[in-house]
Structure 1
Amino acid sequence: MEVSWLAPRSQGYERCQAAVAASLKALQTDYIDLYLIHWPGASGLEPDDPRHAQLRADSWRALEQLLAEGTLRAIGVSNYGVPHLQQLLDTCQTAPHVNQVEVHPYFQQKELREFCERHKIHVQAYSSLGTTVEVSPLLVDPVVQQVAREVGRTPAQVLLKWALQHSLSVIPKSTNPQHMRENMELDFSLNDQQMALLDGLERNTKFAWDSRVVA
């Protein structure tokens, strides 16, 4: 599956079209399975600049056209909060198929997930294991470790399974062969009590950049 992203520097109708063309050339293909607007803001503008909204709307219009032409098979966004999505839904012809955002037990984004569910936008979680530092706080959290012992799995597997049982898809990254295997071995279930324990870890703690500041 070919997935590509629109960089903030390429926001806008014509720049977006050019960026998609460049991706097609780089991937040596005539279509892309999923294309995402990576960030609700545009490069070179202050976070509260009202031009962000118009530029991302223009980018979306370009993606809708490319979707209609068959160049893109699905289109979506990344790091969009509820206000960004509502602005888009107010003007778009095609709703995003995907919203790729940071979600994990410390930052669960329940309001955003519920909004996406109501509008049939699939939520794909990144940073499911928390920060990319050597030892993520999530991986050593006592509750996560307790649940991992109960189910006989690693803390990372527990965090990924928590996301899957909340109907999220996950995109864990690893170059370690053992970790890559573990990320695929999720053939177990967390019971209601274990899910409730993990749900109780909400701290509104974000590890990636915060798009909520973008107008």
Structure 2
Amino acid sequence: MDMEGVWREMEKLVKENLVRDIGVCNFSLKKMNKLLGLAEIMPSVCQFEMHPGWRNDKMLEFCKNNSIHVTAYSPLGSSEGGRDLIHDETVERVAKKVNKSPGQVLVRWGMQRGTSVIPKSSNPERIKENIKVFDWQLPDDDFQALCNIPQQKRVLDGEELFVNKNQGPFTSG
């Protein structure tokens, strides 16, 4: 991938006032460091998988330290990916305690980490439920309990699409 060439084209879009901001998705720390070393216009957002079962703390901290906003996808985990956090015992316990749904707890957790959260659902009732997270907060002890879920595993590893096992500057195999 010609990262610099692609980024320069994106920067042109900003300079020509065709877009206000540019960002990246699914970048590793190595790729982010490379990008920040060549960017004239810094990325405003980085989107990646994040939930209590895959906190991605290092990437979140890196983005915060570089004033890059984080958008978290798959905040509920995924039954298809083998990590359905809706039924995690810690999530269920917190949900019961705060009288919210597990989905609301997971969305709120991401928001309290300072990220935007984009849950996916095709169920109209869940979509309505997931939006009702702005007028309450998780208590600190419950937030920390979610931050301490021990098993950390990605739901969507994207290996077929994103893993470069060949030679090159960004091999990840």
Q: Give yes or no for TM over 0.5.
A: yes
**Which is worse superposed, 71-80 or 202-211?**
202-211
Shift of 1:133: 2.8
Letter in 2 for 1:181: K
Shift of 1:202: 4.0
Match of 2:38 in 1: 91
Alpha-carbon separation, structure 2, partners of 1:65 and 1:113: 27
Give the match's secondary structure for 1:66: helix
Shift of 1:66: 1.0
Alpha-carbon separation, structure 2, partners of 1:172 and 1:132: 13
Letter in 2 for 1:101: F
Match of 2:113 in 1: 166
Letter in 2 for 1:118: N
> Equivalent pairs: percent with the same residue?
35
Match of 2:142 in 1: 194
Residue 123 (structure 1) aligned with residue 70 (structure 2): yes
Letter in 2 for 1:198: L
Match of 2:167 in 1: none
CA deviation vs aligned residue, 1:145-202 (integer Å, no higher than 9, x gap):
0000001011010000000000010111222211111111012211110011101114
Letter in 1 for 2:151: R
Where does structure 2 lack aligned partners over 5 or more consecutive residues?
Answer: 165-169
Give the match's secondary structure for 1:139: helix
Residue 170 to residue 72, structure 1, CA distance change in 2 (3 Å) = same
Equivalent pairs, count: 162
Alpha-carbon separation, structure 1, partners of 2:35 and 2:68: 12
Contact 1:107 1:202 in 2 (8 A): no
Alpha-carbon separation, structure 1, partners of 2:3 and 2:73: 21
Where does structure 1 lack aligned partners over 5 or more consecutive residues?
Answer: 1-51
Alpha-carbon separation, structure 1, partners of 2:37 and 2:154: 28
TM-score, normalization by structure 2: 0.88
